Structure 1
Amino acid sequence: MRQLTIWGKALRLRFFSASLLPLFLGTVISGGGDGIISSGAWLLVLGVVLSAHGASNLLNDLYDDLYGTDRINQHYSPFNGGSRVLQEELISRSAMKRAIRLCYAVGTICLLLLSKLGGGWGVLLLGLAGFGCGYFYSVPPFRLAGTACGELLVGLAFGPLLVLGTTTGLTGVFSKEAVLVSLPVGALIAAVILINEFPVKINLLFVCLYLFSFQSAPSLPYFFKKG
């Protein structure tokens, strides 16, 4: 039971509502015609969404720990600083890597089945784009979380990609209505991330200064190099 609690903390389950909201919105749009939605297809969409979100959260924790931003964050909150499971040594990095691979494997299987059930190439491409957003948000060489593109990527993933991906997976066709309705949702999620990232940006600056002191400024005081 304790392990389940720890992994729930690592996955940051409380924030899965950020992906469930656009999923439910896409479901409502998809049922706007005859009101009939395949329960099997919906469960597969849910599997893709939760797997992708879980993998993204774990990747973010792993690479923020590797880069040191979460370890030096003294002002962490539920909204920044990660889940803290690596810093508190509740989970090892190797275990987290295995969990990431499992999330992507489950998500990929669900995505392929959804494509075969009627979602077609459209849902496959949208799903892969969603996986890519979660991956490149945290992983080098792009690591977009530390750039001005990070919030735009979050808005794209939790807005158009998720809502349109849901409608395409459930109906097999692209919906202009889904794109338009998704924009405010994506903007809202991106704004939440932006507001709560200021402490992270400050920590990233300190990490850069720390690395610079070793590589380019050997004459700096010893206490600065040691942190």
Structure 2
Amino acid sequence: MPAWRRLLLFARLSRPLFLIGGALLYGLGAAIARYNGHTVQLQLLLLGQGVVTALQLMTHYLNEYEDAETDADNPNRTWLTGGSGVLGANGLPRRTALNAGLVSLAVAAVLASLLALEGVRGAGSWLTLVLIFLGAYFYSAPPLRLARSGYGEVTTSLVVAGLVPAFAESLQSGSVSWLLVLSTAPLAALHFAMVLAFETPDYATDARLGKRTLMVRLGWRTAMRLHDAAIGFAVAAVLFAGLNGLPQSVMAGSIIAFPLAAAQVWQMHRLRQGFRPQWRSLTAGGMALFALAAYLELVGYLLAG
């Protein structure tokens, strides 16, 4: 296989599109610290982002390694779900994903050490980082394998939409504000809904091969209703936050995403009614809703600051 093709396959294995979400949520935490009157220290900002990205890559690689068999047998894989599709006889060796995951973990450890050398001593920052690592590592890795237990969906949503911005804010301010909780609660719910949307095309394959995701454990109809409930909770959480101190610019931006939220619920409703599945539209809609909501919150805080 030519070197250029190996590099291309490795880039696909890394799932760079998903790294954008981590950057948005990390940036949101830093923007909230800035809004609260703290000066953003660039070196801490970049080192923290480096740690988050390295741990995110570790999660991608280890998940690809653990799910290689399931992903290879999935007829409904989309460009967002069912793995990257690059491992196997005509692609990269499965071991490549494991090695890349271990290297990413080592990079995260080095960057965390540099944070310590920068003088980050707050217990809150380090506790948050440890929780991020535990959630990221055990999402796919034994003995917990959260992605196969029915607990991975909640865990990854709390890590990505809650702990990552909390880590960013605590690095800059030394603490986590109530405003961050108000801002990230809707995003955690939207991330959870996105993960359920991602699991929908994989449902039959996961059930057949014994991968006990939350959708498999609950059954597809119940899980689809839970998806809709999560989006409803996100809308209610935005309205609650607006009444309890959320900046007007952030509130206005969040409301912009409401029509897309309604469209996502409509798509899932049609699927429950037996209409032909539009997997790409469903999964892309779930990701677009979460990413747009996070982006609009970030922009709202930057404008408010």
- Per-residue CA deviations over 1:3-40 (Å, capped at 9, x if unaligned) read 43222210100111221121111111111244521111
Residue 80 (str. 1) matches residue 68 (str. 2): no
What whole-Å deviation, never above 9, does each CA across 1:139-189 have from its counterpart, x for those lacking one? 233212123322111211112111101111222223232222111122212
1:126 and 2:152 correspond: no
Give the drift of 1:197.
Answer: 0.3
Aligned to 1:180: 182
Identity of aligned residues (%): 28
**Cα distance in structure 1, aligned partners of 2:89 and 2:181:** 41
TM-score (norm 2): 0.63
> In 2 relative to 1, CA 208–185 (structure 1 residues): closer, same or farther, beyond 3 Å?
closer
Aligned with 1:62 (options 57, 61, 65): 65
1:8 aligned to 2:11? Answer: yes
Alignment of 1:189-208 (within 5 A): 189-208=191-210
> Which 5+ residue runs of structure 1 have no aligned equivalent?
210-227
2:55 to 44, 52, 67: 52
Q: Which runs of 4+ in 1 moved over 6 A?
A: none
Give a deviation string over 1:29-67, Cα, whole Å, max 9, x none: 1112445211111110110111011110111111001xx
Question: RMSD between aligned alpha carbons?
Answer: 1.9
CA–CA distance in structure 1, aligned partners of residues 199 and 174 of structure 2? 37
Task: Tell me by how many angstroms 1:83 deviates.
Answer: 0.6
Which segments of 5 or more consecutive residues in structure 2 lack a partner in the other structure? 212-305
State whether residues 18 and 189 of structure 1, in contact with CA within 8 Å, keep that contact through their aligned partners in structure 2. Answer: no
Matched, 1:140 2:142: yes
State the TM-score, normalized to the length of structure 1: 0.83
Task: Name 1:218's counterpart in structure 2.
Answer: none
Partner of 2:102: 101
Q: How many residues align?
A: 207
Q: How far 1:118 sits from its partner (Å)? A: 4.0
The code of the aligned residue for 1:25 comes to L
Matching residue's letter, 2:94: R
